[in-house]
């Protein structure tokens, strides 16, 4: 249905030949599902340990999740059965594979929440498996450092899956791969791992996959903090001071030589603020004079380093960023200089 939509086929038009052939193959094999049998009883008779194992996967075609119940008797018999699954078609708007994998992990978390609401047996342990290292790294981050798309989904997954373990699994061992890519009935009926889970899941934990997730330096989906700085090599005043505070106080005392000054004694807060404004304006004029001229002439700043900051020039001649709502000192465009 989605491929019909993408092809922009109207109700009275024939679908593309490739799509028509795929649909006919699917329709011809659909009757094979009549012979499908699935065990309704997913546990052993007298289990002393019940675990839930969830798997998720995604592709450009779709994403989904499946949950298995692993039960073990006192005698050592282990039984693994499919409990439920859910699949979704990938959105029409193209998304990156890591984001689709994250949607698959969110589907798994929500499916797990539904399972807990309807089950009556006690679950001793819950383990979720994903073949995406990026998703596993996202889930170990605080949502506040992630971009909006990732942050909202990671926050919900972390809340729902609290107490569960997240582990990495290879793609060829992930039963949820059948959900993400789609299969014809004949192929689907021959997937043993879909109904019973991976073969190693019915064995002791010592043979389970033990894959360590290596941190990545350039992890996508992380907020990028913008920090602008310019290096000053002024030969006049800045090179004579190794302390910013001392520089401001000296400038404040120098301003007292103004003919209109009547203040005496210790420096006032107003004098220190005025001195700081003078120093900042001097630094901005040295490094952003072109931008100041454009802003004063009401021209758009055609500069990548300032254009995204919504700059403006205030009544003191200082460049401020972030619009006109916040007018305090904190939104002045500071220039970092090396003494």
CA torsion through residues 302, 306, 311, 313, sign: negative
Residue 52: phi, psi to the nearest 5? Answer: -115, 130
Whole-angstrom Cα distance, residue 195 to residue 202? 12
Whole-angstrom Cα distance, residue 103 to residue 154? 10
pLDDT at residue 88, rounded to an integer: 94
Residue appearing with tokens 């003494």: 339
What is this structure's pTM?
0.67
Domain ranges for the chain = 37-207, 238-331
Residue 77's nearest CA partner among 231, 233, 204, 254 is 204
pLDDT at residue 170, rounded to an integer: 93
pLDDT at residue 48, rounded to an integer: 87
Q: Are 180 and 62 in contact (CB under 8 A)?
A: yes
pLDDT at residue 92, rounded to an integer: 86
CA–CA distance from 235 to each of 42, 81, 84, 244, 268 (Å)?
Answer: 80, 77, 73, 16, 28
Convert the pLDDT of each residue in 5-64 to its tens digit. Answer: 888 888 888 888 989 999 999 999 999 999 888 888 888 788 889 999 999 999 999 999
CA torsion through residues 139, 145, 147, 153, sign: positive
In order along its 339 residues, the chain shows pLDDT tens digits of 888 888 888 888 888 898 999 999 999 999 999 988 888 888 878 888 999 999 999 999 999 999 999 999 888 889 999 999 999 999 988 899 999 999 999 999 999 999 999 988 889 999 999 999 999 999 999 999 999 999 999 999 999 999 999 999 999 999 999 998 888 999 888 888 888 999 999 999 999 998 888 888 889 999 877 666 655 555 467 777 888 888 888 888 888 888 777 788 888 888 898 888 888 888 887 777 777 777 777 665 555 567 667 787 888 778 887 755 554 444 666 555 444
CA–CA distance from 175 to each of 35, 180, 191, 198, 301 (Å)?
Answer: 21, 10, 9, 7, 53
pLDDT at residue 339, rounded to an integer: 43
> Using H for helix, E for strand and C for coil, what is the string for the chain?
CHHHHHCCCCCCCCCCHHHHHHHHHHHHHHHHHHHCCCCCCCCCCCEEEEEEEEEEEECCCEEEEEEEEEEEECCCCEEEEEEEEEEEECCCCCCCHHHHHHHHHHHHHHHHHHHHHHCCCCCCEEEEEECCHHHHHHHCCCHHHECHHHHHHHHHHHHHCCCCEEEECCHHHCCCHHHHHCCCHHHHHCCHHHHHCCHHHHCCHHHCCCCCCCCCCCCCCECCCCCCCCCCCCCCCHHHCCCHHHHHHHHHHHHHHCCCCCCCCCCCHHHHHHHHHHHHHHHHHHHCHHHHHHHHCCCCCCCHHHHCCCCEECCCCCEECCCCCCCCHHHECCCCCCC
pLDDT at residue 290, rounded to an integer: 79
Percent of the chain with pLDDT over 70: 88
Whole-angstrom Cα distance, residue 99 to residue 112? 20
Whole-angstrom Cα distance, residue 126 to residue 70? 10
pLDDT at residue 250, rounded to an integer: 87
Asked if the 37-207 domain carries CATH number 3.30.420, the reply is yes
């Amino acid at each position: 249905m989605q491929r019909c939509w993408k092809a922009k086929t109207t109700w009275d038009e024939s679908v593309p030949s490739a799509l028509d052939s795929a649909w006919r193959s699917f329709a011809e094999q659909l009757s094979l599902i009549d012979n499908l049998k699935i065990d309704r009883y997913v546990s052993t008779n007298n289990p002393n340990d019940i675990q839930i194992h969830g798997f998720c996967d995604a592709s450009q075609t779709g994403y989904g999740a499946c949950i298995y119940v692993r039960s073990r008797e006192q005698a050592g018999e282990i039984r693994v059965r499919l409990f439920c699954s859910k699949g979704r078609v990938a959105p029409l708007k193209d998304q990156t594979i890591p984001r689709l994998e994250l949607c698959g992990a969110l589907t798994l978390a929500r499916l797990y929440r539904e399972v807990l609401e309807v089950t009556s047996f006690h679950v001793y342990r819950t383990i979720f498996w994903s073949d995406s290292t990026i998703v596993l790294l996202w889930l170990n981050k605080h949502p506040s450092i992630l971009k909006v798309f990732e942050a909202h989904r990671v926050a919900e997954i972390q809340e729902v899956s609290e107490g569960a373990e997240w582990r990495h699994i290879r793609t060829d061992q992930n039963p949820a791969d059948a959900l993400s890519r789609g299969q014809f009935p004949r192929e689907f009926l021959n997937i043993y791992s879909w109904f019973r889970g991976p073969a190693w899941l019915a064995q002791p934990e010592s043979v389970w996959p033990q894959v360590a997730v290596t941190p990545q330096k350039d992890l996508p989906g992380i907020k990028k903090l913008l920090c602008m700085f310019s290096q000053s090599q002024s030969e006049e005043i800045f090179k004579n001071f190794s302390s910013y505070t001392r520089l401001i106080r000296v400038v404040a005392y120098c301003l007292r030589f103004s003919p209109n000054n009547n203040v005496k004694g210790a420096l006032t807060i107003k004098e220190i603020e005025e001195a700081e404004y003078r120093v900042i304006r001097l630094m901005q004029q040295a490094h952003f004079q072109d931008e100041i001229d454009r802003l004063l002439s009401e021209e758009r700043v055609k500069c990548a380093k300032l254009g995204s900051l919504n700059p403006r020039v205030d009544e003191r001649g200082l460049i401020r960023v972030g619009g006109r709502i916040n007018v305090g000192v904190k939104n002045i465009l500071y220039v970092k200089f090396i003494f």
